[in-house]
Amino acid sequence: MNKKLILITILIISIKLLLIKEISAQEKYFTRDATVSFFSSTAMEDIKAINSKVSCVLDIKSGKIEFAVLMKAFEFKKALMEEHFNENYVESSKFPKAIFIGQIENLYEINFEKDGTYNATIKGTMTIHGESKEITTKGNIVVKNGNLILKSEFNLSPEDYSIEIPGVVREKIAKELLISLNAQLAPFNR
């Protein structure tokens, strides 16, 4: 009788422990300091801008991934370029944010519990300058000590987002900009 009671108690405790583990298993990863840079290369000039204040949330259970980018946080080497970018091209006072909401298409291929490098295909909607476009991009996710590093490179064309670049400077800015993304995500505990 006593033995039975002990067994039941152990059983209950282990079920509870399992449940706790299930609840505390980390699902959301977050960073407020991801980096997005863009690079434009033409015969006339190379232009680079870096934004180190991009936020990213990844839900590893559903594969949903979101990025939010403040247009005013892109830093250029030349002040005049930054002003043109903000005032004339992306109109950052009117459209302060760019947003990407997407989905990791091959979620089943990524084991977030095992350290390693995994390829990821991400599909979603990019909204810049008030214009939304479907994009698909490839990248990789490094799982390391419970943190994630997501990297990707892809091209964007300003014209796709109704960003008009006047004729005088059109030749200085590439038709396709190379976007590089680097996000180091940590479990979101709160």
Partner 1 sequence: MKAKIISGIVFLIIILMGITYYQFNRSHIDISKQEPVYSISATKLFEQFSADEAKANSKYLGKIIEVKGKIYSIEKGVNEDYNILLMDSDEMFGISCNISSNEINESIKAGQELSIKGECSGMLSDVVLIRCIIIKK
Interaction residues for partner 1, span 81-110 (CB under 8 A) = 82, 86, 92-93, 96-97
Q: Which of 1, 23, 79, 168 binds partner 1 (CB under 8 A)?
A: 79
The amino acid at 190: R
Q: Is 180 in the site for partner 1 (CB under 8 A)?
A: no
SS3 state at 164 = coil
For the bound state, the minimum distance from the C-beta of residue 121 to partner 1, rounded and expressed in Å, comes to: 23
Q: Which of 12, 25, 27, 33 binds partner 1 (CB under 8 A)?
A: 33
CA gap 180, 190 in Å, rounded: 29
Beta bridge partners of 18: none
Identity of the residue, 62 or 93, whose beta carbon is nearer to partner 1 in the bound complex: 93
Identity of the residue, 1 or 79, whose beta carbon is nearer to partner 1 in the bound complex: 79
Q: Which of 26, 176, 184, 187 binds partner 1 (CB under 8 A)?
A: 184
- Contact of 57 with 51, CB cutoff 8 Å: no
- Burial label, 190 (beta-carbon count in 10 A; 0-12, 13-18, 19+): exposed
